[in-house]
Structure 1
Amino acid sequence: MSSLPKIKAIVLDWDDTITNKDTISLVAEAAYLTKPEFPQPWSHFSEVYYSNYKLYTSNWGERTTFKDELEFQKGLKQVELSSVNEYVGLQLFKDISTKSLEDQSSKVEIKPNFFQIFQKLYDNKIPIILLSCNWTSIIMDKIFKDHGFEQHEHFKIITNEFEVEQGILTGQVLENVSIRTGADKVEHVHKILQDLRKLGINDGVYYIGDSSTDVLPMLETDYGIVIGDGSATKTLQRLNINYDEGIKGDSKIKHIKNWNELNELV
């Protein structure tokens, strides 16, 4: 069985990949802690999303090819934006401070051994790109800073962002970056690969994620790592894409249980 080469560059998902749980609910919670009398409960925005998702998926049969999944993910963007447009329209996040979001960072649980692996990558100046469909980088950035890691030329966070003026959210979202689906991640991975080539990195690029949103972008890099028991493995099976359990084997996609399994690749 073949062994994987050392990591020369890495693209990471955030929610359920680095964290134990999805953290978007903590972003929303910051708004309700600040504005407890906000007329619409969080369930309202969830219902907007799920009703649109149900309608959208009802028009699709079984997806068994990369092309089908890519088209599905492209169309899914309008579903994802339905809840975004709703909270922007109702101004859920207007007048929320960045500090209230930073304070939520203490509630985030990071997967075991992640920061040990990250420390090695960071110290070795391996390009690290955190690519997420989350709504803001504020919580992520605070957690990394609390662990002694600043964003710089070798470490960047790319995700959706709120518009901020003097430490206060305006209620709007910035439109220069929009990462809502796996298809959006594919586009960004293409840009990342172009930038890495300019640095002379033409191989050894890894993508690590956990969900169906991560399957398409990890197929674009040299190697894909599925971590944990999210929806990614089911999606790979549905698309008839081979993967190995553990980091040994001939498939370009690997499934691991925890971050410690990547020690020998760093």
Structure 2
Amino acid sequence: MPIDNSQINALVLDFDGTITKQDTISVLASIGQIFQRRHHHSVKQPWDSVVEAYGRDFQDYTSTYVPAAVDRTSLSEELNFLRGFRDIESASFGRVGDSEIFRGMNKADFSMAGHEALRDGTVRLHDGFSEFMTCAALQKWRIYVISINWSSSFIRGVLSGFPIDKIISNEIRSDGIIVGPGILGPPSEETVLATCLDKAHALKALVAEQNLDIDNIVYFGDSVSDIECLIAVKGIIMSGGPDSSLIKTLKRTVYGCLHSDVGRKVATCRQQREYLAGSGEPECTQEDYHAFRRLRVPQKCFKCAMLDSTKLRARQLLDSMKADVDKCVAARGGAWASSREWRVASSTSNDNKHIRY
């Protein structure tokens, strides 16, 4: 769906994977470990055990969730699945706090660490981001960041060289506990941003707080945690190829074959299969960005072309027959046979078909 630049009033960007080339949570963990060693503090829980516990929870949830991924073919089903990660993410946040890996660090520490991580190349921004921000400044677009990262101060340090109007993300208190952003209420463990729904709530709160026109906002995201924001406004997907989790999810839940347009699905066409496999373009699909926004894209596969061609020829034939009948009726003063059924020889087959009009 084309975007009119003249109507844009704000850009909202995800951080990890959208602005940066990689996820930065591991960078944050490394920063915390270095800080504790420098101050001769020991963590209560080894970092590897925190990572392993999250991995087990993730695997248990994804492997036992019903319906399974292959059976989740609608956006609503997928959103229910993604929102269910809230408990898993919250538990992981709690384990991070309990480990005390960030205990004693303040906002200035995280901001400085973010700035240094960008400077020494530990964190890398996507190619063209600086030019993009320069263009945004010339257009006088307001720039916001919404992220489920653990530290908004760290993000602020990474992006300290750019004019960001507001960063909405979690924060790490000096006791090492991760809390949510103030835009959703008093910062607490209950208000953390952890899922796609949390980010959508944050976007809604941002729109209200900044008095933005939601129809003229563009959101940039790269992961499944961005889905609800991407469909709430004008969305741009950041992806290096067809194998990203977000692209695969959208292919599975948003696209359907247009063969069903004739009343029943006759087959899964070759081009649709190639598209779903990531090796073709969505030429034979119906793209459903949202329940209220449908876009029929050009169809070019052989079966769809044949079906549309057959329907067109049938309609043209019926229109021609009706015109001939009307002429005969007019010529005979209305004295014409009352029969409304005709035997019509098919131009593409030796069989005859009954066609009614």
TM-score, length-scaled by structure 1? 0.78
1:171 partner SS = coil
1:8-157 correspondence runs (5 A): 8-36=9-37, 37-38=42-43, 40-57=45-62, 58-60=64-66, 61-62=68-69, 63-97=72-106, 98-99=108-109, 101-102=113-114, 103-106=116-119, 107-145=122-160, 147-149=161-163, 151=164, 155-157=165-167
Q: Structure 2, unaligned stretches of length 5 or more?
A: 181-186, 257-280, 290-357
1:195, distance to aligned residue in structure 2 (A)? 4.5
Report the equivalent of 2:353.
Answer: none
1:120-166 superposed Cα distances (whole Å, 9 cap, x missing partner):
22343312220101000222212222x253x4xxx111001012xxx
Q: Provide the C-alpha distance between the structure 2 equivalents of 1:226 and 1:202, rounded to a whole number of angstroms.
A: 18
Query: 2:223 corresponds to which residue?
Result: 211
Distance, in Å, in 2 between the alignment partners of 1:35 and 1:194 is 40
Whether contact under 8 Å (1:8, 1:203) holds in the other structure is: no
Contact residue 162 and residue 171 of structure 1 kept, 8 A: yes
Q: How many residues align?
A: 235
Contact 2:45–2:98 at 8 Å: present in 1 too? no
Deviations 1:162-193 (A, max 9, x none): 12xxxxx2212234242111111122222234
Aligned identity (percent) is: 27
The answer as to 2:4 corresponding to 1:5 is yes
Show structure 1 runs of 5+ residues with no match.
164-168, 254-266
Answer with 1 or 2: which has the greater Rg: 2
Instruction: Supply the AA of the counterpart residue of 1:128.
Output: I
Give the Cα–Cα distance (whole angstroms) in 1 for the partners of residues 139 and 238 of structure 2.
Answer: 23
Q: How much does 1:210 deviate?
A: 0.8
Q: 2:54 is matched by which residue type in structure 1?
A: Y
Q: Contact 1:208–1:226 (CA<8 Å) still a contact in 2?
A: yes
Provide the secondary structure at the position in 2 that maps to 1:112. Answer: coil
State the match for 2:348 in structure 1. none
2:193 to 179, 182, 203: 179
Change (3 A) 1:148 1:131: closer
Give, in whole Å, the separation in 2 of the partners of 1:55 and 1:11.
33
* Conservation of the 8 A alpha-carbon contact between 1:137 and 1:159: yes
Please give the secondary structure, in 1, of the residue aligned with 2:215. coil
State the alpha-carbon separation in 1 of the partners of residues 105 and 145 from structure 2.
24
Indicate how the Cα distance of structure 1 residues 190 and 234 shifts in structure 2: closer, same or farther if over 3 A, else same. same
Matches of 1:178 and 1:20, distance apart in 2? 24
User: Cα deviations across residues 229-254 of structure 1 (Å, max 9, x unaligned)?
Assistant: 33211111111248xx8xxxx9797x
Q: Distance in 1 between matches of 2:26 and 2:99?
A: 17
Contact 2:36–2:43 at 8 Å: present in 1 too? yes
Query: What letter corresponds to residue 235 of structure 2 in structure 1?
Result: G
As a proportion of its length, which structure holds more helix?
Answer: 2
1:233 to 229, 237, 247: 247
1:70/1:252 Cα in 2 relative to 1: closer, same or farther (>3 Å)? closer
Q: Answer yes or no: is the 8 Å Cα contact 1:88–1:172 preserved in 2.
A: yes
Indicate the SS of the match to 2:85: helix
- Tell me, in whole angstroms, the C-alpha distance in 2 between the residues paired with 1:179 and 1:241: 29
- The residue type equivalent to 2:167 in the other structure is I
Compared with structure 1, are the counterparts of its residues 252 and 194 closer, same or farther at alpha carbon in structure 2 (3 Å cutoff)?
farther
Q: Is the 8 A contact 1:104 1:139 kept in 2?
A: no
Measured after TM superposition, the shift of residue 119 of structure 1 is 2.1
SS in 2 for 1:83: helix
TM-score normalised to structure 2 length:
0.60
RMSD across aligned positions (CA): 2.6
